[in-house]
Amino acid sequence: MDFLTRFSSSAHWLLRLALTSVFMYHGLSKFPKIAQLAEMMQMPGPMIFMLATMEVMGGLFVMLGGFMKDWMTRLGALMLVPVMLGAIFVVHWPAWDNFVRSESHPMGGMEFQVTLLMITLFLLIMGNSLNKGASSN
Phi-psi bin for 127: left (phi > 0), alpha (psi -120 to 50), beta? Answer: left
Instruction: Encode pLDDT of 14-57 as tens digits.
Output: 999 999 999 999 999 999 999 999 998 889 999 999 999 999 99
Q: What pLDDT is recorded for position 106? A: 65
Over 50: is that where the pLDDT of 133 sits? no
Q: How far apart are CA 126 and CA 117, in angstroms?
A: 14
Residue 75, pLDDT score: 97
Q: Where are the alpha helices (DSSP H) in 31-137?
A: 34-41, 45-67, 70-86, 111-126
**Where residue 87 falls among pLDDT bands split at 50, 70, 90?**
confident
Q: What is the mean pLDDT of the chain?
A: 86
